[in-house]
Structure 1
Amino acid sequence: MRYRTDYSQALLSETGQHLLIGSWQLHYQAYSTRAEDPRQPVLLLGGAFQCFRSFASEVEELLADHPVILLDLPSQGGNLQLAPELSLEALADLIAGFVEELHLPPLMPIGLSYGSALAALFAARHPQHCARLLLAGITAFGRRGARVLLEESLALLAEGRSAEFAHGAVTGLLNPTRSQETGVAPVFRKALLRQLQRLSASDIERYRQNSRRLLDFNGFHDHPVCPTLILAGEYDHFTQPWEHSQFASACAAADCALIHNADHLAQFEQRSACASLYNPFLRGEPLPLISPGSSHLPRSQWLQLEKRHEPRHAPRHSRARLQHAEFGELSVDVSELGFFGGLLHGDLPNVVPQRGWQLQMLDMPALAILPVRSSGSELAWVFAHTDAVGSAALAERVGQGAMPSVACA
């Protein structure tokens, strides 16, 4: 590997170098303070909508101590090559092929969101090529609520409902009930919303392929054995803190930290808090016992974290109407209500379809819901959050905190 030594943010707008492994194209950029550098490089693997430019601050900061490589696998970032036949495992194996082809020393991947699954699989499947591992937004994607939301996003795109898709996706990534704590500016949220509303046909197909890989993934059979640091956003609803800590508990040498006032984009919302942990970790130094903006989670708590990520309240007016084109209008009682989901009771059909449900509560717009569990007369659901007006009304209703929280299941 020969590194570029002339790093500037402007270079991140370029596709960089191409490497062909079989029929698959890999795009990468590699920087260091010296052209020939035997040190273990940091590898940056981003989320579904991230490109090299997303890591401008990280590259500049990391270059003081490490070579840095940015990699776009097929259908990721700026790499437009479609790869419907490649699984997550196959993509992780392509990273190993990249290491072997360029004769790289063991890597130190930083995997964020979708990239965290790839980084973790690479570390687990090819331990000889992975020196240290840092993950944020990690999940095995087994949580039912997350799966039905992802399936709904694919269905909306297939139906050409891009505005509804975009609003649901942004609501999942940027927790609107915690925007004051996370400091996400309305202008950033609007920019991301516009970006997702204007996805090209190629972008949509790549999103579909990447999402199908997550949905088809059967979970981790092996876990990383190298030193691993896992960062969880305190208010991340998309990949929740308990999912991070459970993954950490399965790793051989993991630490897990909670980043305060952050959701799924913790590394961008609370950059200094994250950097104060990952910089010493990547240098192989002990993590600070006390670090501003984060809390170290003791191993004894990893399997004890609460799985209910938001308080659910019994609403003042529990009577509601559940509507579906096939079953008409059903009278139900809402016993638990939160911004992301709830629980209702009523005379329900034996077979509950996944799509097409609308919940009409008193003085509220009709809200699309997606069932996640039904048993007899009980139905648990998540909100699809496809309508901005309805989401805003729900946020106001839930924010009133009308009654004490119900018990968490």
Structure 2
Amino acid sequence: MLIDYQEYNRQAIKAVPRHFWVGQWRIDYLPFASPETAHKPPLLVIGGAFQNFTSYKYCVERIYEDFPVILVDLPSLGSNDQVAPHLGMEDLADLLHEFVARMELPQVHLMGLSLGSAIASTFAYKYPALTGKMIVAGIVVRPRKSWRMLVEESVRVLEEGRMDEFSQAVVLYLVNYHRIRETGITPTARRLFYRQMKALSDNERERYKINGRRLLSVEGLLGYPECETLVTTGEFDSFTLPWENADFASKCPNATFALIKGADHLPQLEKREVSLDLFSAFLRGAPVEKVDGVDVFPRGTYDRLERRRSERLLPCNSRGRVTSESRIGDQFRFDQRVKVVDINFFGCLVKLEQPGFSTAEHSRDCTLHLVSPDMKLELLVFDYDEGGYLRCLFKHGNIAEAERFAGLLNDPQYFIEPKADKAGVRKIYG
């Protein structure tokens, strides 16, 4: 069956999606093309966890000038409400292949943002003859342990029905609160994101858990596509770190890696025009280096990217305590004084006064008590060594408290930057 394109208008993108069935699985799609471009390979935009088709309105409007655009929601993704817990990334890529083959599309370009990036990459690797160019944003090769713990924690909180905490945590995980001034994400936008998460239906909550488990099941990508690829994210992405995106680009022989200045994990929202200029230039074959607001990195330089989400600060008062949430009688099961070696908005390195810690028992149930400022921060401990050092993430689940903490980090009364060494290079602690 040949795909039946429709011309784009702002009402058309709100239409009820068309359906394509592969056995029991439904693929929702909307295809747009002008008569002048309908003969060209289309851009397939693969929906992610939270985006619906209207989320891509501006992308469609820009790309439509040069290429057909097909918006696709695979089972459990975007607004496709099919619950598909047993479909992995490769299964979803195979469903997409069935769609492309049955629509008799000889070649397609691909775009996958965040969760959709792994599906796009898998399709491009398995079906190179069908793939023209590919754009991925927010992709990782092998998820780091700390990232896995954040995703696991969000799924756990959701399963326990703690919707207010879950909703605030998702905002705090995906929005880099340490760089709000640079990214310009307004309080209104953050409140709307929070309300969207809190208003998830039972079906949407179930699909979030499914997609979280899909991400956690990824031990590594199936392979690395050889097609012409643009890998990008925001320079302040604190969820899928820039160096992780660059690591993927380094393994793709025809990849270009670019950072969108002043954005974090949601550059298509925060820096929409820059993102669209970048996507359009890449697809048209124009030099992406000439796009304003973008840093394009030469191959061979990716390993120079900073691996931390933010430089650590030194507390003016390093005294603190780490306690567990669980007790034996009126005593914490774990309670020890610590020295806070370094800290930032996302986590800290602490040294126990007396070495001895069980990550099996306490990696998810600890709290750091700071003396000055007087504050408690819940922890995910992702590493412990026998010298007594704990490497920790903060389980931010309260926006007001997180904003207060972010403000305190900028107060030299409590925290200071590390001094430069004799060579004039900042010492990175931990």
In structure 1, the partner of 2:307 is: 307
Which stretch has the larger CA shift, 392-401 or 48-57?
Answer: 392-401
In structure 2, the partner of 1:241 is: 242
In structure 1, the gaps of 5 or more residues are none
In structure 2, the partner of 1:272 is: 273
The Cα shift of 1:159 comes to 1.0
Q: Match of 2:240, SS?
A: coil
Q: Measure the CA separation in 2 of the matches of 1:164 and 1:201.
A: 16
Counterpart amino acid of residue 301 in structure 1:
T
CA contact (8 A) 1:340 1:383 kept: yes
- The alignment-based identity, stated in percent, is 35
In structure 2, the partner of 1:129 is: 130
Q: Measure the CA separation in 2 of the matches of 1:204 and 1:222.
A: 30
Q: Measure the CA separation in 2 of the matches of 1:107 and 1:299.
A: 26
Q: Measure the CA separation in 2 of the matches of 1:15 and 1:365.
A: 49
Answering whether residue 402 of structure 2 is matched by residue 388 of structure 1, we say: no
Q: Match of 1:132, SS?
A: strand
In structure 2, the partner of 1:397 is: 408
Answering whether residue 338 of structure 2 is matched by residue 332 of structure 1, we say: yes
Residues 63 and 286 (structure 1), Cα distance of their counterparts in 2 relative to 1, 3 Å cut: closer
Answering whether residue 428 of structure 2 is matched by residue 407 of structure 1, we say: yes
Q: Measure the CA separation in 1 of the matches of 2:39 and 2:88.
A: 31
Answering whether residue 365 of structure 2 is matched by residue 356 of structure 1, we say: yes
The Cα shift of 1:141 comes to 4.7
CA contact (8 A) 1:238 1:264 kept: yes
The Cα shift of 1:247 comes to 0.4
Q: Measure the CA separation in 2 of the matches of 1:48 and 1:149.
A: 16
Q: Measure the CA separation in 1 of the matches of 2:288 and 2:308.
A: 29
Answering whether residue 348 of structure 2 is matched by residue 342 of structure 1, we say: yes
Counterpart amino acid of residue 387 in structure 1:
N
Q: Measure the CA separation in 2 of the matches of 1:305 and 1:299.
A: 12
Answering whether residue 162 of structure 2 is matched by residue 161 of structure 1, we say: yes
Counterpart amino acid of residue 70 in structure 1:
L
Which stretch has the larger CA shift, 293-302 or 356-365?
Answer: 356-365
CA contact (8 A) 1:277 1:287 kept: no
Residues 389 and 330 (structure 1), Cα distance of their counterparts in 2 relative to 1, 3 Å cut: farther
The Cα shift of 1:404 comes to 2.5
Which stretch has the larger CA shift, 382-391 or 94-103?
Answer: 382-391
In structure 2, the gaps of 5 or more residues are 328-332, 419-426
The Cα shift of 1:348 comes to 4.8
Q: Measure the CA separation in 1 of the matches of 2:335 and 2:14.
A: 52
Q: Deviations over 1:208-258 (max 9, x none)?
A: 011101101121141010000111211000011101111000002000111
CA contact (8 A) 2:323 2:335 kept: yes
CA contact (8 A) 2:140 2:247 kept: no
Q: Measure the CA separation in 2 of the matches of 1:177 and 1:295.
A: 21
Counterpart amino acid of residue 229 in structure 1:
L
Q: When the two structures are aligned, how many residues end up with a matched partner?
A: 408
Q: Match of 2:375, SS?
A: coil
Q: TM-score, length-normalised on structure 2?
A: 0.91
Q: Deviations over 1:16-68 (max 9, x none)?
A: 11001121110000010029933100011232110101001111111111010
Q: Measure the CA separation in 2 of the matches of 1:396 and 1:288.
A: 36
CA contact (8 A) 1:2 1:35 kept: no
In structure 1, the partner of 2:422 is: none
Which stretch has the larger CA shift, 390-399 or 2-11?
Answer: 2-11
State how 1:4-403 maps to structure 2 within 5 Å. 4-34=5-35, 37-283=38-284, 285-324=285-324, 325-326=326-327, 327-346=333-352, 347-352=354-359, 353-362=362-371, 363-376=373-386, 377-400=388-411, 402-403=415-416
Please report the RMSD computed on the Cα atoms of aligned residues, expressed in angstroms. 1.6
CA contact (8 A) 1:3 1:37 kept: no
CA contact (8 A) 1:141 1:147 kept: no
Q: Measure the CA separation in 2 of the matches of 1:98 and 1:315.
A: 55
CA contact (8 A) 2:38 2:67 kept: no
Q: Measure the CA separation in 1 of the matches of 2:142 and 2:154.
A: 15
CA contact (8 A) 2:47 2:74 kept: no
Q: Match of 1:386, SS?
A: coil
